[in-house]
Each structure stands twice: as structure tokens, then as C-alpha cells.
Amino acid sequence: MGQPPSAPRTMSGSRARFDLGIVGSGILGCALAHHAAALGAGRILLYDRDHPCAGLSARGAGALDTSGADPWTRRQARESSEEYRAISTRWGLGAHRAEGELHLARDEREARRLEELRATLTEEGQRVEVLEADAVRERLAAGAPRGVRSGLFLPEGATFSTAEMTFAYAELASQAGVDLRWGYGEADLVREGTGWVVRTPVASFSAREVVVACGTRAPRLLAPHGVTLSALVERWQACRLRPPRLAAPFPSVREAGAGLYVRSSPGGRLVTLLRPENGATGDPPMDASADFAFLERVAREMHEVLPGWEESRVEDSWAGTCLTGPDGRPWVGRWPALPTLYVAAGLGGKGAAIAGAVAAKLARGIVEGSWRDLVAVDPARSI
Ligand SMILES: Cc1cc2nc3c(=O)[nH]c(=O)nc-3n(C[C@H](O)[C@H](O)[C@H](O)COP(=O)(O)OP(=O)(O)OC[C@H]3O[C@@H](n4cnc5c(N)ncnc54)[C@H](O)[C@@H]3O)c2cc1C
């Protein structure tokens, strides 16, 4: 797959020329390359400063749950889940598994929230089952939750591997003729007539149109061209636990009160994910490991919600900082003042769940000029 660092290939003895240059090969950039190639976008460059999946996409916990989000985001998650399922079924890649999703309510307020969620999802045509406390305990054979009043079960709820899916998209893009390059270092963008030069410390590439899909680095790449994105910064942390006894697979479990998310993962392990109260500010570091306070909080919440599981050994933990727009939505589309420049960033802490559908729509916008489905995430709303 693709090209590791080597002497840059050139055409006509000069800079290699592309119709579309994509900077950043996380799940969004790779999915975009795949969709753009399928729509006949011409010669496509997919470039990463490190290697494919070097950023946040290596850290995603694989939750496809966007139940707390707005209808547009939920729709993208459903469509993405469908696409991930198709890729997993057809190519055996991406680890999409529909084991169901169980939402727990442990107090009156949460019970009301679940009732609202039930009404919304039913209206959207999703299958949901309301569960009494006993039925919740039966459904969760892996360990009976404490103090549960009610539950909502989504049979179609699924999980996947963000990293595996990113590589799957990269592989499909590469097979479709996309030129994958990586490892020449940080790229920046230089204007060249109406087009662009993707400039790296080692090589430069010309592109008629360019997409900035480089995650948390997007604002930095865009700023010299007058594109200012005012971002919210969220820090997410996760850990993988191995409980002493485990009946797996089991549905993923969401307990919104504590902010706890638990899912089964291959090898009978669990992943939990908590969103901290507040994020960092400034230029987000690519912080690699979860902090001690987070692990303490996981132990406390596990004890509260899933007694018996707090004995679990922590196998691994990790963290990362995500950007999102002030309205909680990403920026995806053409930058109005620069018609050959596209932004694809700000996916936030639930971005992997929507990347497939968002990339498909962006590819349609670039190739066919159809932007109808991306109005909600138009980067122009930042102006
Ligand atoms: C702990 C944690 C758990 C998460 N869990 C979930 C989850 O369960 N479900 C979910 O939906 N989402 C989750 N997320 C969020 C999800 O991981 C991100 O939204 C998603 O991966 C973002 O993808 P991306 O392609 O936009 O960015 P990235 O994956 O960060 O890709 C950007 C790429 O651009 C490259 N790059 C950066 N700058 C440059 C440059 N100047 N030149 C060239 N290349 C450059 C980087 O090397 C990187 O490979 C989680 C995040 C964290 C941190």
C-alpha cells in the first residue's frame, strides 16, 4: 500500500501534478480518497506527514453511538455504519460488529432522557426496545449493573475499529490508483495561480484543488490563507480492561450520567471511554497516554455502575485532543473565498463514527458540485 519515504516521483522532469491533493490520511482523508477515486476525480495525491493513521484515528474507541448528537450527525453515523458494515463484510476489514447498544438510566433524569431518545429514534425509523431493570440485567450477561431503573436497547448498534477502517480505506484508495505518499514531514500549502503546491521538507506536489484533512493541525495549515476556524477543544481518554470473568461478546453499554462507555473488543477485552468535564485550550498536543485521574475515575465509575468489573486489570490506556466547531459540528466543504480549497476537519470526539458518510458527501461536492448534504457543516459558518 502506498509509498514510504523515497525520492519523489516527478512527471515531465518537474513537480508531480495532481487534480486533487488531500493533506492528512486519517480516517477522513483516506475515506475521501476512496470516494473521490470512485467518482473519477482524476489523479489524486493522499499525503501524510508521518504515515496513514498516524493521528487521532489510531486512538478511536470504535463507538458508533451518536445518540446525544443532533439529527444531521446521527444520520451521518447511520450511513457510515452501513458503509463500514459493507466494507467489513466484503473485504473482511474494519471489524464492524453489530452486537447492539444498551443505554442505561440510573435516576429519574436519565430515565426521562432515555424516553426522549426512544421517541426520537423511533421517529427516525430505528428499532429500539425499552427494557425494565430485570431485562437490562439479563441482557448484560457480562455483569449486572447496579442501581439501574430502565434501559433502551438498540439492536442495530455497532462498533468497529477506527484504525483498521482507516487502513481499509487507504488500501481501497490505493487499489483505485490514488498516489499515497507519506513520511516527508509536515506539509504546508502555497498558492500557485488558481491551484496549490503541497510543500513538504522533501518534495512538493502541484494540485489543481486541495483538501485539508489533517485533523488538529488543520487550523495551522489554513491560517496563512486567511481561513480562521474558531474551534472547541476536547480531550478524550480511553483504556482497555481485562476483567477477571467475562462473557463476551455483549452489547456496548452507555451510561450518560457517569459518562461511561463500555464495549467488548476482540480477545474478550473491554474498552471504556470517558469524556472529561472540560477540554484543553491552545494548540492541542498529541498527548499519548491517559492520566492517573482518569484511571481513578474509571475505577470509581465501574464500581458504581458495574460492580465486579472494578477488579479488572488495565491493559492499556490512551488519550487525544480533538477539535470541533463551536456548534459541535465539523467544517466540511469549500472555503468561499478560495474556490479550489476544501476543509475537512473538526470531527471531534465522535468523528470516526461519521467520517465515511461525510467523506462520501465531500467527494460528491468536489466532483459533482453538489453541496446540498453538507450545508450543516459548511466552513463558511465560521466567518
Ligand atoms: C481517546 C479517543 C477515543 C475516541 N473514540 C472515538 C469513538 O469511539 N468514536 C468516534 O467516532 N470517534 C472517536 N474519537 C475521535 C476520532 O478518533 C476522530 O474524530 C477521528 O479519528 C478524526 O479523524 P481525522 O481523519 O479527521 O483526523 P486524524 O486521524 O488525526 O488524521 C489527521 C492526519 O493528518 C496528518 N497531518 C497532520 N498535519 C499534517 C501536515 N501538516 N501535513 C501532512 N499531514 C498532516 C496526521 O499525521 C494524521 O495522520 C476518539 C478520539 C480519542 C482521542
pLDDT in tens, 291-316: 888 888 888 888 778 776 767 788 88
d(CA 6, CA 182): 9
pLDDT of 163 above 60: yes
What pLDDT score was predicted for residue 90?
A: 95
- Atom nearest to 235 CA in ligand 1: 53
Q: What is the mean pLDDT of residues 41-65?
A: 93
Neighbouring C-beta atoms of residue 33, cutoff 10 Å: 31
pLDDT exceeds 90 at position 35: yes
133 has a pLDDT exceeding 90: no
Same topology for domains 16-57+162-229+327-382 and 101-155+232-324, yes or no? no
| Percentage of the residues of the chain whose pLDDT score is greater than 70 | 89
**Higher per-residue confidence, 274 vs 53:** 53
- Over the stretch 167-225, which tens digit does the pLDDT of each residue have? 999 999 999 999 999 999 999 999 999 999 999 999 999 999 999 999 999 999 999 99
Domain residue ranges in the chain: 16-57+162-229+327-382, 101-155+232-324
For 250-257, what is the mean pLDDT?
84
User: What's the pLDDT at 377?
Assistant: 96
Local structure of 148: helix, strand or coil: coil
CA contacts within 13 A on the Cβ side of 377 = 32
Mean pLDDT of all residues in 112-128: 93
Residue 279 has pLDDT above 80, yes or no: no
pLDDT at 357: 98
pLDDT band, very low/low/confident/very high, at 13 (cuts 50, 70, 90): very low
180 lines ligand 1 (CB under 6 A): no
| Tally of CB atoms within 10 A around 262 | 27
Tell me the C-alpha distance between 107 and 111, whole Å: 6
Strands of the sheet with 232-242, listed across from one edge? 129-132, 150-154, 101-105, 252-255, 260-265, 269-274, 232-242, 313-324
- The amino acid that residue 62 corresponds to is G
Atom of ligand 1 nearest to the CA of 28: 25
The pLDDT assigned to 281 comes to 45
What separation in Å is there between the alpha carbon of 319 and the centre of ligand 1? 11
Give the Å distance between the CA of 22 and the centre of ligand 1.
15
Q: Is the CB of 69 under 6 A from ligand 1?
A: no
Class of domain 101-155+232-324: alpha beta
CA distance 113 to 119: 10
Question: DSSP characters for 274-329?
Answer: E--SS---SS-----S--HHHHHHHHHHHHHHSTTGGGPEEEEEEEEEEEE-TTS-
Q: What's the fold here for domain 16-57+162-229+327-382?
A: FAD/NAD(P)-binding domain (3.50.50)
**N- to C-terminal Cα separation, the chain:** 39
Instruction: Give the pLDDT confidence score for residue 157 in this predicted structure.
Output: 93
Quote the mean pLDDT of the chain.
Answer: 87
